């Protein structure tokens, strides 16, 4: 009996094709209606050029109609992306580079008489340490009309970047309020009036917002818009975005490792234990480093060519990490902004289009170092709920327990009432052993901190 196919819940908007899964493999179907554009994309050399430059994810071609759809033209099997992330989990420089990649793709496509019909950050992922575009069906034949994705680009990329630039704050979470892009009139209202003195900001935001709200009776797609005008448009957007400054790089947790390194040999001991435990593990292919700060321990795994999602609630630390791995051309670390007390939710139609962070999990190993006291005391999350959450994220767990007597915990308690009678090692072990099997324990330094290795209890 043939195996049923499962349509991806986010792949319903594009009439050109759709994503589906069969036998655990992801495919993209190209519909007959898109045949002319797809053939042109391949035959023009545009696909080869973009994939050779590492700008577009590559694919294999399968002639068989795996979906059984009457609209089938050809089936593609894209190269697998290890972890899908979303723009509301990206820091400023991640979004900025994604915007610049989109404009680069537009210009590259024009050289082959093709055009990019979509300009959404959801079409971009990090793969092997680089930005890559993942939607092959976003390229169609060029015609001398205005860029259909111009407004989408300004709402999805430019608006949020300008808000962060002028406010000097990293605000990736705004994309959760407007997942399809921040409306131009709202962007115009949120950035200062002085922004009008920037020619390109005035044109692409303020003037654009004014005209976007009007009922244009004349079909803009009939207006002639030469390739040179389109290149000029892309160039002006590129110039504006390139000059936007990264919000302040210092935060409460910037420089954490420098401070930790001063506590005798605490940091070195922890590095050694983690490295030894990981070395002894088998079947570790994916890792989540939760509370990663600037990736000190993520690199232990990355140096073994293991992909690591390095997540932290502090967007400034995440941005610093991103800049480091970009400059060093590191391939195996994906930095993400993530607050574990309020992780990325499932959103979209029926809450199925874009799964939650927990829903995208299923890591072989989770690191949770110097984190539990921030969740249990800083966020008032009970130990059993923390343990339950970690059991859903990964099958093995290396976690550091920080006792209440620790100076960092005492510093936290100076600003709030100590109501945490259940916060001790006995209750910690009890909570985690409900979901995990204890395998190892090591003391770290002389301050009472301990490192634990747990393996998740699997349902029989």
Tens digit of each residue's pLDDT, the chain (460 residues): 345 788 888 888 889 999 999 998 999 999 999 999 999 999 999 999 999 999 999 999 998 999 999 999 999 999 999 999 999 999 999 999 999 999 999 999 999 999 999 999 999 999 988 999 999 999 999 999 999 999 999 999 999 999 999 999 999 999 999 999 999 999 999 999 999 999 999 999 999 999 886 655 555 555 788 999 999 999 999 999 999 998 876 666 555 555 554 566 899 999 999 999 999 999 999 999 999 999 999 999 999 999 999 999 999 999 999 999 999 999 999 999 999 999 999 999 999 999 999 999 999 999 999 999 999 999 999 999 999 999 999 999 999 999 999 999 999 999 899 999 999 999 999 999 999 999 999 999 888 999 999 999 986 4
**pLDDT recorded at residue 460:** 45
Which letter does DSSP use for residue 144 in this model? S
Q: How far apart are CA 346 and CA 212, in angstroms?
A: 30
Q: Characterize the bridge pairing of strands 114-116 and 139-141.
A: antiparallel
Domain ranges of the chain: 6-78, 87-243, 256-456
256-456 is classed CATH 3.50.50.60? no
**pLDDT recorded at residue 251:** 62
- The answer to pTM > 0.85 is yes
- What CA–CA distances, in Å, run from 195 to 99, 187, 192, 238, 246? 20, 11, 6, 17, 17
What stretches of 329-421 show up as alpha helix (H) in DSSP? 372-373, 383-393, 407-413
Report helix, strand or coil for 122.
Answer: helix
Q: How far apart are CA 375 and CA 389, in angstroms?
A: 11
């Amino acid at each position: 009996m043939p195996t049923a196919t499962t349509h991806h819940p986010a792949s319903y908007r594009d009439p050109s094709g759709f994503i589906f899964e069969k036998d655990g493999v992801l495919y993209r179907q190209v519909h007959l209606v898109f045949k002319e554009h797809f053939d042109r994309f391949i035959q023009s050399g545009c696909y080869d050029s973009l994939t050779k430059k590492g700008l577009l994810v590559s694919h294999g071609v399968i002639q068989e109609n795996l979906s059984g759809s009457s609209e089938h033209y050809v089936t593609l099997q894209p190269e697998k992306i290890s972890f899908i992330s979303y723009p509301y989990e990206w820091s400023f420089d991640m979004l900025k580079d994604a915007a610049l990649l989109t404009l680069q793709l537009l210009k590259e496509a024009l050289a082959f008489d093709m055009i990019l019909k979509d300009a959404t950050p959801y079409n971009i992922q990090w793969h092997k340490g680089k930005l890559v575009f993942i939607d092959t069906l976003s390229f169609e034949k060029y015609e001398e009309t205005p860029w259909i994705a111009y407004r989408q680009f300004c709402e999805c990329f430019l608006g949020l970047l300008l808000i962060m630039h002028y406010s000097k704050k990293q605000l990736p979470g705004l994309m959760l309020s407007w997942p399809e892009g921040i409306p131009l009139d709202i962007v115009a209202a949120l950035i200062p009036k002085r922004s009008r003195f920037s020619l390109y900001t005035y044109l692409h935001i303020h003037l654009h917002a004014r005209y976007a709200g009007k009922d244009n009776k004349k079909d803009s797609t009939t207006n002639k818009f030469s390739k040179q005008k389109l290149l000029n448009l892309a160039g002006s957007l590129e110039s504006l975005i390139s000059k936007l400054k990264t919000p302040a790089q210092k935060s409460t947790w910037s420089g954490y490792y420098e401070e930790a390194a001063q506590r005798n040999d605490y940091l070195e001991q922890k590095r050694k234990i983690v490295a030894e435990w990981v070395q002894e593990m088998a079947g570790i292919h994916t890792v989540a480093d939760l509370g990663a700060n600037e990736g000190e321990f993520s690199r232990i795994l990355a140096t073994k060519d293991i992909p690591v999602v390095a997540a932290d609630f502090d967007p400034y630390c995440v941005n610093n990490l991103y800049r480091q791995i970009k400059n060093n051309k590191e391939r195996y670390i994906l930095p993400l902004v993530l607050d574990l007390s309020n992780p990325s939710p499932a959103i979209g139609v029926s809450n199925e289009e874009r799964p939650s962070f927990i829903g995208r999990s299923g890591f072989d190993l989770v690191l949770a170092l110097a984190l539990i006291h921030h969740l249990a005391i800083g966020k008032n999350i009970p130990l059993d709920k923390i343990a339950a959450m970690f059991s859903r994220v990964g099958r093995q767990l290396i976690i550091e327990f920080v006792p209440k007597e620790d100076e960092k915990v005492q510093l936290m308690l100076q600003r709030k009432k100590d109501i945490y009678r259940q916060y001790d090692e006995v209750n910690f072990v009890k909570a985690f052993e409900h979901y995990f099997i204890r395998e190892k324990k090591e003391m770290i330094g002389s301050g009472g901190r301990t490192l634990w290795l747990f393996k998740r209890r699997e349902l029989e």
